[in-house]
Amino acid sequence: MSLVHRTAVLLALALPCWAPAASAFDGADGLPQDAKASGALSLFKSSSQALRLGMDGYRSGNYKTSVEAFEYAAANGNPLARWKLGRMYAAGDGVPQDDDKAYRYYSQIVNTYDEDDGDRRDLSAVSDAFVAVGVYSLNGLPKTGVKADPERALEMFQYAALNFGNADAQYNLARLYLDGADGAVAKDSRQAVRWLALAADKGHLQAQALLGHMLFSGFDGMPPQRARGLMWLTMARDAAVLGKDPKDAWIVDLYAKTAASATDSDRQVASLYLDEHHKRN
């Protein structure tokens, strides 16, 4: 049974058991090849000890020691170490930026995840890994021959959105429904808005901005909800200004353009909605 089918079953409130497929980067024993080859494998007593030492080294800026410790823990199946290595290589944080290695470590988490394990203290890392593999699958990695695969991206986003309530996954699902993807999903603005609303409620500012713009303008034959849309855009703008992340400059611009066409009534009602939202949350 495909993951798409299983996800559909989950939507019908029957949670199936899912065993992910093996990664193209796996060794015969399911461990990253470069981690197995590391000379650090004999330096630690356990993966949990290595993880702690890795975090200590990372915090102190000793990235070489940190990576060796994380590699040991990752090679011994520690998902938090794999997640940390994935994040480091994806961002070039203390190591050369390398999306191929990031994808490898994130894939290890996805491929070894057991949803029947009742004592999971690493679900946040697992959830992030599903989203990361989804993003890499959507765009592909030409240098390593990983082709763009929108259907796998959809599977990863759906799984993380439904099983973990991951706001990034919900936002990415919304973007897929807005943009469409050949062979994976047809454009569907109403589905997009549903996923955006879920992510926006969790404080996802990009989802808030996009949801606000769509509600303010109207979509797919639906009448505009100008005050409600302005409320979400205001929340997103405030968070973007506070965060000062250059990648979110578009949110401030989108708010400015939208607010310029808002009436006094739109602003007054949006302010009331905003107060109500803050009281509820």
Tokens of 10: 């989950």
pTM over 0.75: yes
Q: Predicted confidence band at 32 (pLDDT cuts at 50, 70, 90)?
A: very low
Mean pLDDT of 150-156: 96
Distance CA 19, CA 142 (A): 27
Tell me how far apart the alpha carbons of residues 113 and 127 are, in angstroms, rounded to a whole number. 10
CB-count exposure of residue 233 (10 Å: 0-12, 13-18, 19+): buried
First and final C-alpha spacing in the chain: 40
Query: Residue 26's beta-bridge partner residues?
Result: 32
* CB of 262 closer than 8 Å to CB of 212: no
Q: Count the alpha carbons within 13 Å of 57 in the hemisphere toward its beta carbon.
A: 19
Q: How far is CA 10 from CA 14, 115, 161, 201, in A?
A: 5, 13, 11, 22
Residue 118 binned pLDDT confidence (cut-offs 50, 70, 90): low
Q: What are 167-192's pLDDT values in tens digits?
A: 999 999 999 999 998 778 899 999 99
Please tell me the predicted confidence (pLDDT) of residue 42. 57
More confident residue, 19 or 86: 86
187 near 180, Cβ under 8 Å?
yes
Segment 240-270, tens digit of pLDDT:
999 999 999 999 999 999 999 999 999 999 9
Q: Where are the domains of the chain?
A: 188-281
